[in-house]
């Protein structure tokens, strides 16, 4: 069961100001009621009793949210005492009437124990309507409710119905208004909790997307490094065989070994950097050895597959094709794959265009479409997180977002040199 939090210090200060202000207004209202009375009125004990009572009935409101149930009971008692001891001030003072309404509202809206609240409100309602009934009986005995007009109901019955209707609206209106305020506060709390949970879930999903992307890259780098090691082994064996008979061939083999080892070390540094931040509890899994190695050279096959799924994809290559490092080549393929998948799943576009640019010291991939996001749920954009992570690990830059002319663009630029300045070979 939800419990409403206690009022803040600011809310408590506001309540103190409200209670004091209502007390001052009550005293002033009593003076106005005295001046407007048609007959002589008694000022009771010490000539100030009506003023004291009109202030006393409002002062408990200083704690209406901090202790709502005691305030309700105190105001109810003082309300009845005020009506019995200072009738002229009670009937002619709107501040006193408002005080009871505010006490009922505050009790229903702020009471932490709902069962105690219902019991207290029920007790107050019984007391109030019981007191009203006694006043009706007293008026009947004294023939106090008479009138010269002959209507559908007698003057007594008419006054009873009017007074009863007003009191029902007064007390039950305060109750249901307070109940609505309590329900609104509860709904706001639940929405804040849901927003917090969703934010935490989104953060966890984003982190998982980054980890998954790093693990996938690590599997791909495993193949790349294995390729370098195999090449080094083959070249070293050949150099050993021809070292005595063909020194030049042995020298060339050693040069290849040197370049391959540098590339292997460079890419291994990237691999270790990724694995350092990855979650060690996640199962990395084993790639399918029968699956063809992803790479930039397989972009035509990727585009053909996308065309077969109903998306019309164009392809344009700019610049002289160059041999890309394995890590870059695989990343180009994976980014294109993710971008085209997002177009199919989350966009209304029927066509897209893929451009691959060879820029000498870098390679650039751009995927454009002319659609707009679907009205259905559009995913969590974790694919974009993975693309940015992959490009950042390779020292590149990415631009992902809507186009000014409509549609969506994914553009990445990956340098062909590592952040350490070592040319990546294959």
pLDDT in tens, 177-224: 999 999 999 899 889 888 888 888 888 777 777 777 666 766 666 666
Measured from the Cβ of residue 280, the count of other Cβ atoms closer than 10 Å reads 6
323, 314, 318: which is closest to 367 by C-alpha?
Answer: 314
* DSSP code per residue over 158-198: HHHHHHHHHHHHHHHHHHHHHHHHHHHHHHHHHHHHHHHHH
Three-class SS state of 132: helix
Residue 353: beta bridge partners?
Answer: 314, 368
pLDDT number for residue 286: 43
Strands 351-358 and 312-318 come out as parallel
pLDDT number for residue 410: 94
pLDDT number for residue 34: 80
Q: What is the CA radius of gyration of the chain?
A: 41
pLDDT in tens, 350-403: 899 999 999 988 999 999 998 888 754 444 455 787 788 788 878 899 999 998
406, 404, 263, 231: which is closest to 329 by C-alpha?
Answer: 263
pLDDT number for residue 118: 92
| 87/202 Cα distance (integer angstroms) | 63
pLDDT number for residue 62: 95
CB 266 within 8 A of CB 225: no
pLDDT in tens, 271-311: 555 555 444 444 444 444 445 567 888 899 899 888 887 88
pLDDT number for residue 237: 77
| 280/390 Cα distance (integer angstroms) | 19
Of 54-63, 234-243, 298-307, highest mean pLDDT: 54-63
Check residue 369 and give left, alpha or beta (phi > 0: left; psi -120 to 50: alpha). Answer: beta
Tokens for 420? 């350490």
Rounded to a whole number of angstroms, the distance between the first and last alpha carbons of the chain is 64
391, 314, 399: which is closest to 349 by C-alpha?
Answer: 314
Of 246-255, 264-273, 356-365, highest mean pLDDT: 356-365
Tell me which of 340 and 345 has the higher pLDDT: 340
pLDDT number for residue 184: 92
pLDDT in tens, 95-139: 888 999 999 999 999 998 889 999 999 999 999 999 888 888 877
- Which residue in this structure is represented by tokens 């409100």? 121
**How many percent of the chain have pLDDT more than 70?**
80
Tokens for 323? 């041999």
| 219/240 Cα distance (integer angstroms) | 32
Measured from the Cβ of residue 129, the count of other Cβ atoms closer than 10 Å reads 14
Check residue 319 and give left, alpha or beta (phi > 0: left; psi -120 to 50: alpha). Answer: left
- CB neighbour list of residue 102: distance below 8 Å, 6 or more residues apart: 22, 61, 64, 174
- What pTM value is reported for the model? 0.52
C-alpha distances (whole Å) from 324 to each of 44, 353, 363, 420 are 102, 22, 9, 17
């Amino acid at each position: 069961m939800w419990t409403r939090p206690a009022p803040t210090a600011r809310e408590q200060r506001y309540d103190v100001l409200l209670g004091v202000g209502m007390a001052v207004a009550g005293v002033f209202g009593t003076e106005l009621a005295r001046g407007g009375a048609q007959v002589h009125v008694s000022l009771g004990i010490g000539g100030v009793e009506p003023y004291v009572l009109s202030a006393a009935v409002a002062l408990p409101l200083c704690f209406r949210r901090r202790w709502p149930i005691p305030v309700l009971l105190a105001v109810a008692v003082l309300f009845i005492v005020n009506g019995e001891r200072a009738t002229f001030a009670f009937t002619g003072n709107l501040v006193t009437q408002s005080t009871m309404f505010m006490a009922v509202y505050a009790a229903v809206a702020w009471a932490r124990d709902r069962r105690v609240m219902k019991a207290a409100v029920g007790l107050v309602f019984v007391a109030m309507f019981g007191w009203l009934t006694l006043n009706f009986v007293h008026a009947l005995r004294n023939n106090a409710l008479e009138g010269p007009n002959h209507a559908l109901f007698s003057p007594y019955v008419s006054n009873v119905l009017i007074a009863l209707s007003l009191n029902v609206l007064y007390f039950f209106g305060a109750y249901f208004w307070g109940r609505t305020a309590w329900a609104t506060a509860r709904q706001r709390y639940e929405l804040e909790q849901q927003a917090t949970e969703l934010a935490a879930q989104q953060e966890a999903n984003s982190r998982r997307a980054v980890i998954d992307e790093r693990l996938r890259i690590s599997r791909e780098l495993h193949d790349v490094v294995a390729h370098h090691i195999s090449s080094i082994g083959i070249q070293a064996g050949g150099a050993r065989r021809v070292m005595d008979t063909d020194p030049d061939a042995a020298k060339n083999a050693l040069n290849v070994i040197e370049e391959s080892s540098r590339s292997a070390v460079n890419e291994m540094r990237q691999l270790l950097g990724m694995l350092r931040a990855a979650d060690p509890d996640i199962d990395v899994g084993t790639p399918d050895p029968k699956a063809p190695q992803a790479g930039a050279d397989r972009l035509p096959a990727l585009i053909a597959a996308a065309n077969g799924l109903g998306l019309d994809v164009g392809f344009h290559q700019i610049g002289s094709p160059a041999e890309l490092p394995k890590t870059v080549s695989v990343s180009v393929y994976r980014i294109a794959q993710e971008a085209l998948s997002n177009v199919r799943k989350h966009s209304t576009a029927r066509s897209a265009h893929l451009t691959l640019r060879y820029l000498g010291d870098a390679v650039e991939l751009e995927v454009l479409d002319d659609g707009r996001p679907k009205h259905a749920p559009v995913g969590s954009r974790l694919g974009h997180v993975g693309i940015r992570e992959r490009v950042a690990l390779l020292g590149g830059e990415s631009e992902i977002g809507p186009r000014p002319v409509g549609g969506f663009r994914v553009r990445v630029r990956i340098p062909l040199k590592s952040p350490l300045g070592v040319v990546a070979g294959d």
